[in-house]
Amino acid sequence: MLLSRALGRGYASPRARWPMESALLRQDALWVFDEVQLMDVGLRTAVQLQAFHPPREIAPARPLVSWWMSATLQPKWLHTVDFAAHLPALEQTAVRIPPSDRQGPLFAARKPLRLVDLPRDNDREAAAWARLVLDEHHQAEAGAYGRITLAIANTVDDARALHSALQAALKKQHDRPAPQLHLIHSRFRPHERRTWREQFLNREACTPGVDRILVATQVVEAGVDISATALVTQLAPWPSLVQRFGRAARYGGLARVTVVDRQLSERAALPYEEGQLQAARRVLEGLTDVGLTSLEALEDHLAAHDPAQLARLYPYDPLHTLTRRDLDDLFDTGPDLTGADLDVSRFIRSGDDRDLHVWWVELGPDESPAPLSNPRAQRSARSRSRTQAHG
């Protein structure tokens, strides 16, 4: 929403406001981009917008300042043809934690790693994965923040299958009380998701005596403040794994971490690429712990001795780059000769978004739709999410 306005084509914004919003966002402003690993091509657009702004010596009264933040941020992600000259100065002001200051509960947390192969088998895989999750949950030590197991799948279908298998397994478990079981993914309706943070996705919900299993997708990689005592995750690209590891022993202590390799290839590896999974697998095979100290030491070593491997772990090559000419063309907010507007979506997000929400109004047998001639959809209204399959 903000990038489209900075480019003078604000989504859901009246045409008359486009130039005003663009002017307000591109001067006398501080942009804070958090979790930039999720921004896709939008990160490159933000860097280019910063590069095109006049330096402070020329326009000292109306600066534009950008902060880029992430646990997995790589300097090369900010390298563009127009911003390259600014990178040396940026390196001097980058905020990092030096090795001498890597102390305290977060850096002392231990996260022993186990890598498990679970070849794909549609008939038995979910049940085997459910048994693995339950075993890890029962072996995890309950502490000051309870016993919480987080199981992360790469797709909604996999998460649903695992959740169903866990429900079936827990019904057969009679030797101990069943833990709470919750399913988390992006296709729940807004009014259903609203209660999650209050019930189990916040630090206050991690208390002594809590016995809980959370089955989720990538939605928990960022913006979720919980501390799992056991983490079971499917193999994913390295940046995603680092974010997932951060949900385990988040407040210190000990957490068991298990990475499940389903040995997927080609289309079966979607939404990721097979090469990304293989690169992450090779690194995991050389690790016994994925605590913060271990991960920082690994990346320091790769940066000094194997930068090519570090680049494979953190690939970033967006298809489109905003140029000065593109930005100048957007200065004219009028439509072209065909009545169409310049499309800025390629500078904001790539890929095909095939999710949609369907909204409807229920009418009783004797009700007439006449009073609803212009109903207005609300995010809290009853709706269902539907995904169009590829192909």
- The pLDDT assigned to 100 comes to 83
* Mean pLDDT, rounded, for 332-340: 85
Predicted pLDDT at 180:
93
Q: How many CB atoms lie within 10 A of CB 376?
A: 7
Number of CB atoms found within 10 A of residue 144's CB: 11
> Confidence band (pLDDT; 50, 70, 90) for 284?
very high
Q: What is the mean pLDDT of residues 64-85?
A: 91
**Alpha-carbon distance values, 372 to 364, 368, 369 (Å):** 13, 8, 5
Q: Rounded to the nearest 5 degrees, what angle is found at the Cα of 100, between the Cα atoms of 98 and 101?
A: 70
Per-residue pLDDT tens digits for 236-253 = 999 999 999 999 999 989
Using one digit for the tens of pLDDT, what is the confidence trace for 171-210? 988 888 899 999 999 888 777 788 888 888 888 888 999 9
The percentage of residues in the chain with a pLDDT greater than 70, rounded to a whole number, is 91
Predicted confidence (pLDDT) at residue 115 exceeds the cutoff of 70: yes
**pLDDT value at 384 more than 60:** no
The pTM (predicted TM-score) of the whole model is 0.84
- Predicted confidence band at 354 (pLDDT cuts at 50, 70, 90)? low
Beta-carbon count within 10 A of 109 CB: 20
> For 15-52, what is each residue's pLDDT tens digit?
999 999 999 999 999 999 999 988 999 999 999 999 99
Per-residue model confidence (pLDDT) at position 335: 85
- Taking residues 309-332, report their average pLDDT: 92
Helix (H) or strand (E) holding 297: helix 292-305
